[in-house]
Structure 1
Amino acid sequence: MSETPSLAPDPSRWKALVFIALAQLMVVLDATIVNIALPSAQQDLGISDGNRQWVITAYALAFGGLLLFGGRVADLWGRKRTFIVGLLGFAAASALGGAATGEAMLLGSRALQGAFGALLAPAALSLLAVMFTEARERAKAFGIYGAIAGGGGAVGLILGGFLTEYLDWRWTFYVNIPFAVVAAVGAYLVVREPAEGRNPSPLDVPGVVLSTLGLVALVYGFTRAESAGWTDDWTLAMFAISVALLAGFVLVEAFVKHPLLPLRVMTERNRGGVYLSLGLAVIAMFGLFLFLTYYLQIVKGYSPVKTGFAFLPMIIGMITGSTQIGTRLMTRVPPRLLMGPGFLTAAIGMLLLTQLETDSSYAGLILPAQLLLGLGMGTAFMPAMSLATHGVQPRDAGVASAMVNTSQQVGGAIGTALLNTIAASATTAYVAAHAAGATSPQAQRVLELRAMVEGYTTAIWWAVGILAVAAALAVTLITTGRPGSAAPQASSDGAGDEDQVQVPVLAH
């Protein structure tokens, strides 16, 4: 029996969306809110320069490594239950981080945040997938969700700057507690999830071990590359270990009776296109957050709060692109005609930022670039989030949702490491080429700033190319028509017509 009819008339799903969106905002902004608070926390707790990166890395490793496991737990244990446990665990871990008295306590709390986030994020997205099945309602719901997923990082920069400057770095942790408690209580009261959507199959333990260790090695490899270099022995060893573990994971999943990640979830053309194109887009966006934050604070001399508010045009653009453009057009045009042009619009915004100079005007260059970036990414994110669970059976919705979160998390790790390395190399080359002319302290400072901006613009050129590739992949791989436009064809994921009957939302 399909679960769609039992969910369609439930009026509480719109109330549930509020709490799901609130939880998603908390998880996404937590990826950036701590960045601005990190210098203060480092000084207060006596964390060394060599270890400070672990405040960010511990969260990324636990989150990225456990996402597939978290998605499977949601399918097995129930999405509502997993969602609430993830929220309460995230709140407890945040309280631990805010009360940290030393380095170990802070790093442990960040790892716990990542672990509970890995439960929470796929449960949230899969709840939307099974609660909103009518095309127009699904478009509105995923428009809101896509805007939050895209703009939450920038919100984190604003909130982090405000809390750090006017309160204390500890409040970047404590602020999660009311978010989580309100979302958990609301979800308990209004979320309705029928039992037939669960997957009672036994847990694939070898798959859990291989995927978790493989993803942890991959994320750590890129994180280490940023600080130690791409040719560092441990960096190369992490990449080699990751390839071996993930290859073993794919092999196990092909033959095990109850796989953690059914290969049909990954290999279906449209979902594969979403995972690839979205992962590439996140590579570009994470690099941009990093470069613009440093440019505004170091080159332009902005305070943390002013830096955070300087990202407002991007947030406005994302909300507009997702809720106004994406939502209105999603039921009228195929998703590829939103994702492809959306990524290209973002690439044009990124292209403007290649013209950055030390004295560039915020209003004349950075603001319009951010608006274009936000509009493009917001328009593309909304159908991408909806397509992440395209054609899957409800029992696989959790792990399909985990895959899109995994592509974002791995994309973020790659973007931070790859683009930062490119920027650092370009900065070093610029200093070497112009050092002879810097004979006074003032001239040396000017040279340093110019070299820094040269590094940023060089890396941003790469981000432009990455977004163009994301657009090409979206247009080429994603072939589904607009929702409800035609009778669905047989799914290429090997699941046959059953997939289309259970979630009859997006027609091929």
Structure 2
Amino acid sequence: MEQIVPSRWPALLVLCAGSLMVILDGTVVAVALPAVQRDLGFTAAGLAWVVNAYLVAFGGLLLLAGRLGDLLGRRGVFLSGVALFTLASLACAAATGPALLVAARFAQGVGGALAMAVSLGMIVRLYPEPAERARAIAVFSFTGAAGASIGTLAGGVLTEVAGWRAIFLVNLPIGAIILIAALRRLPAERGVGPRSGLDLPGALLATAGLMAAVLAIVGTGEHGWTSPRTLGAAAVAALLLGGFAARQRVAAAPLVPARVLRVPGLVAANAVQFLMVCAYFGFQFLLAVELQLVLGLDAAATGWAFLPTPVVIAVVSLGLAGRLIARWSARTVLLAGLVLATVGFLLLARLPADGGYVADVLPAMLVFGVAGGLTLPAVTTLAMAGATDADAGLASGLVNTTQQVGGAVGLAALATLAAARSDGLRAAGWAETDALAGGYRTAFAVAAGLVLAALLVALTTLPRRPAGPAPADASSGSEPVRPVPADEPAGPPPGDEPGASSVVGAGTDSYRSGASG
């Protein structure tokens, strides 16, 4: 591998800018959907595909994109993703009909997956030292967490001032700047090479299976969980993903090598993240709807109402999380954040129909800000702790895939639960506002249960001791170097402390960086 450029923080900012552009696009587009429908003549059902086409491509390709970064070089894959995303944004802005816009959105999803899937792997190499890595992950995590909230405000302003096409055109100068900066600031690196092998049948099975799974999930809002369409897509997804799992057992160069899944803490951290993100996505969507339908805020006021959460996330993740992880370990910080997130959801689970923002909503917003600022960088640190340089892209793709699928599952499940509960209360004679509030309270109580389950999984499965990267396979094409545990507290290396056991495992210049939500 080539040397890492010395100016690492500018490189991190480039990766954060790429992540922010991709994440902003999701929420920016959601705000502009009514204007898009009026201008291009979308049907109500067809309009959902402006969002779904992007989600299907993005969620389905993350795993493959991460592996391509390992094989071909992560900088090249990142540049390709940003370039495709930027060109697809131009195609979105120029769309003259529904089919063209949906196709361009699918291309945006492909570009977004390429750029996002390798970002964490690049941060692994940039920041081999645990303390610096923790701070870098915190910065990257803040970018993802704040992006969704910023997108709601930006989308509304751009759509109102310049029309819906502006939300795509704004990506052109941003994408160009990111490409130029990436060429200058990101380290030039070689992948382990195509000779190491890409399991093409496995890649096709995984990508098609994930796309079918996302398709099944995003269609539940329109078709329901038990509709033939949803069940059929879920069955196809299960069949394809089952075939992928069987393929990995016999493939000479599997897309997901067994050694990666044996890395201490990797599967556990992704399980925790799945449960956590299921609840977090529900918080943002359901509370935004409740603030308008129950508390009577307009769209602009709702956007501003969410502002305390990203502000607190910024303060915690940028100013405290990295230091806390270095001092107390990522596992401890994650557990503390999950406790706070449970408290936040329980606060929302008691929100009355006649509640006020300051007294009943703002405390939960502040608690969620602290919880998000702690849990997002901590869980990403744990998930990437044992990644070798040869597999960092794959590990990054796993992290991002877990986030996307978890968010889609959680949002669909909690929204369906809230609607079903509200329907039951209406049938029992409750007033409309009271019935809606009751449905949201039930959903938030279940979200608290999801976070509590994540806490229990973290307590029982995440290793207390730091985990180094897994030993490199002889077939991986990487040379083992010293382990770089991402979860070790700051201070002398374990081997230098009296009575301390050394960390087992060999890895490469390891990484670190967080992800959104």
> More displaced, 303-312 or 242-251?
303-312
Whether 1:239 aligns to 2:223 is no
Whether 1:171 aligns to 2:166 is yes
Deviation at 1:464, TM superposition (A): 0.7
Correspondence 1:46-57 to 2 at 5 A: 46-57=41-52
Corresponding residue number in structure 2 for 1:417: 412
Distance change >3 Å, CA 124–CA 270, structure 1 → 2: same
Corresponding residue number in structure 2 for 1:464: 448
Q: Does the Cα contact within 8 Å between 1:75 and 1:397 map onto a contact in 2?
A: yes
Deviation at 1:196, TM superposition (A): 6.2
Corresponding residue number in structure 2 for 1:483: 488
Distance change >3 Å, CA 173–CA 299, structure 1 → 2: farther
Q: Does the Cα contact within 8 Å between 2:120 and 2:512 map onto a contact in 1?
A: no
Cα distance in 1 between the residues matched to 2:452 and 2:164: 38
Q: Does the Cα contact within 8 Å between 2:264 and 2:386 map onto a contact in 1?
A: no
Corresponding residue number in structure 1 for 2:346: 351
Cα distance in 1 between the residues matched to 2:344 and 2:275: 16
Letter in 1 for 2:447: A
> More displaced, 295-304 or 268-277?
295-304
Deviations 1:213-265 (A, max 9, x none): 11111111112222212211221122222122112111211221111121332
Letter in 1 for 2:488: P
Letter in 2 for 1:22: A
Deviations 1:417-461 (A, max 9, x none): 1011101101110111116xxxxxxxxxxx222222221111111
Corresponding residue number in structure 1 for 2:510: 503
Q: Does the Cα contact within 8 Å between 1:276 and 1:470 map onto a contact in 2?
A: yes
Cα distance in 2 between the residues matched to 1:459 and 1:465: 10
* TM-score normalised by L of structure 2: 0.89
Q: Does the Cα contact within 8 Å between 1:282 and 1:408 map onto a contact in 2?
A: yes
Deviations 1:9-47 (A, max 9, x none): x42211111111011111122222211111221122111
Distance change >3 Å, CA 420–CA 26, structure 1 → 2: same
Distance change >3 Å, CA 490–CA 211, structure 1 → 2: farther
Deviation at 1:490, TM superposition (A): 6.7
Distance change >3 Å, CA 172–CA 201, structure 1 → 2: same
Distance change >3 Å, CA 504–CA 456, structure 1 → 2: closer
Deviation at 1:130, TM superposition (A): 1.1
Cα distance in 1 between the residues matched to 2:194 and 2:347: 48
Deviation at 1:174, TM superposition (A): 2.1
| Pick aligned residue for 2:436 from 447, 452, 461 | 452
Cα distance in 2 between the residues matched to 1:198 and 1:476: 38
Distance change >3 Å, CA 375–CA 119, structure 1 → 2: same
For structure 1, list consecutive stretches of 5 or more residues without a partner in the other structure: 436-446, 492-496
Q: Does the Cα contact within 8 Å between 2:286 and 2:440 map onto a contact in 1?
A: yes
Deviation at 1:200, TM superposition (A): 4.5
Corresponding residue number in structure 2 for 1:251: 246
| Pick aligned residue for 1:305 from 300, 303, 308 | 300
Q: Does the Cα contact within 8 Å between 2:67 and 2:394 map onto a contact in 1?
A: yes
Cα distance in 1 between the residues matched to 2:187 and 2:337: 34
Cα distance in 2 between the residues matched to 1:71 and 1:146: 18
Distance change >3 Å, CA 452–CA 165, structure 1 → 2: farther
Whether 1:407 aligns to 2:402 is yes
SS of the residue corresponding to residue 393 of structure 1 reads coil
Distance change >3 Å, CA 135–CA 211, structure 1 → 2: same
Distance change >3 Å, CA 199–CA 337, structure 1 → 2: farther
Deviations 1:300-343 (A, max 9, x none): 44333322221111101211221223111111112111111112
Corresponding residue number in structure 2 for 1:185: 180
Q: Does the Cα contact within 8 Å between 2:202 and 2:248 map onto a contact in 1?
A: yes
Letter in 2 for 1:169: W
Cα distance in 2 between the residues matched to 1:172 and 1:359: 35
* TM-score normalised by L of structure 1: 0.90
Deviations 1:363-405 (A, max 9, x none): 1121120111121122011122223322222111111100000
Letter in 2 for 1:30: D
Correspondence 1:255-266 to 2 at 5 A: 255-266=250-261
Cα distance in 2 between the residues matched to 1:233 and 1:241: 12
Distance change >3 Å, CA 217–CA 267, structure 1 → 2: farther
Deviation at 1:483, TM superposition (A): 2.1
Q: Does the Cα contact within 8 Å between 2:269 and 2:379 map onto a contact in 1?
A: yes
Distance change >3 Å, CA 239–CA 29, structure 1 → 2: same
Deviation at 1:187, TM superposition (A): 0.7
For structure 2, list consecutive stretches of 5 or more residues without a partner in the other structure: 467-486, 496-500
Deviations 1:86-143 (A, max 9, x none): 1111011111112221111111111111111110001211111111111221111111
Corresponding residue number in structure 1 for 2:19: 24
SS of the residue corresponding to residue 319 of structure 1 reads helix
SS of the residue corresponding to residue 394 of structure 1 reads coil
Letter in 2 for 1:476: T
Correspondence 1:310-459 to 2 at 5 A: 310-434=305-429, 447-459=431-443
Cα distance in 2 between the residues matched to 1:80 and 1:265: 22
SS of the residue corresponding to residue 252 of structure 2 reads coil
C-alpha RMSD of matched pairs (Å): 2.1
Q: Does the Cα contact within 8 Å between 2:70 and 2:191 map onto a contact in 1?
A: no
Deviation at 1:414, TM superposition (A): 0.3
Cα distance in 2 between the residues matched to 1:251 and 1:189: 42
Letter in 1 for 2:311: I
Correspondence 1:123-142 to 2 at 5 A: 123-142=118-137
Cα distance in 2 between the residues matched to 1:280 and 1:408: 9
| Pick aligned residue for 1:206 from 197, 201, 214 | 201
SS of the residue corresponding to residue 51 of structure 1 reads helix
Whether 1:195 aligns to 2:190 is yes
SS of the residue corresponding to residue 219 of structure 2 reads helix
